[in-house]
Amino acid sequence: EHYTYAGHQIIIQESIEHFGAVVWPGALALSQYLESNQEQFNLKDKKVLEIGAGTGLVSIVACILGAYVTATDLPEVLENLSFNISRNTQNMNTHKPEVRKLVWGEGLNEDFPVSTYHYDFILATDVVYHHTALDPLLATMVYFCKPGTVLLWANKFRFSTDYEFLEKLCNIFNTTILAEFPESNVKLLKA
């Protein structure tokens, strides 16, 4: 798949083997939003963590916009994620992105100790769908969101569980809807 953001041609290799190997609507919405709202969300030289990075599109866009990016996902997705990020950032004069394993709710303090890791932005797209990892996902968001951290979450709302997750998020964080994309049923939230 070919995309253009921030003046760069991005080529994404997808795979049908894993959920994380497809570009979902939330990734397109957040990529477009970051490109169009650089004054509001200036990523230049900011530390950005993408959880559930999938194909890496959002991490690549954040990298193009000048961020120090750490793209994370499950072990089985990392090979394709690394390939896409490397292919699309290798010849750019940007901070070299890092690709790391992150299983929501597991080993957070061992793999990402609070004393060492602080992020300005946490990015997440289409991480909430009909699955059993919603509580570990919320715990992971809470773990990484320190005072001053902004969580940007774009999601296609499909199921009642999506709205239940949103309600839990709103109970923990000061949450606002930044944008809605009715054609794809995607909401973009800031927390």
183: left (phi over 0), alpha (psi -120 to 50) or beta: alpha
Per the document, the length of the chain is 191
pTM of this structure: 0.95
**Are 122 and 150 spatial neighbours (Cβ–Cβ below 8 Å)?**
yes
Q: What is the pLDDT of residues 23-51, one digit of tens each?
A: 999 999 999 999 999 999 999 999 999 99
- The whole-number average pLDDT for the span 179-185 is 94
Domains of the chain: 2-190 (3.40.50.150)
Average pLDDT over residues 110-131: 92
Q: How far apart are CA 56 and CA 39, in angstroms?
A: 23
What's the rounded Cα separation, in Å, for the pair 107 and 173? 23
Q: If pLDDT is split at 50, 70 and 90, which confidence band does 109 have?
A: very high
CA distance 47 to 74: 21
* pLDDT confidence of residue 128: 93
Q: What is the DSSP secondary structure assignment for residue 43, as one 8-state letter?
A: -
Question: Is the pLDDT confidence value at 20 over 70?
Answer: no
pLDDT tens digits along 161-170 = 999 999 999 9
Tens of pLDDT along 37-92? 999 999 999 999 999 999 999 999 999 999 999 999 999 999 999 999 999 999 88
Across residues 107-132, what is the average pLDDT? Answer: 92
- Mean pLDDT estimate for the chain: 94
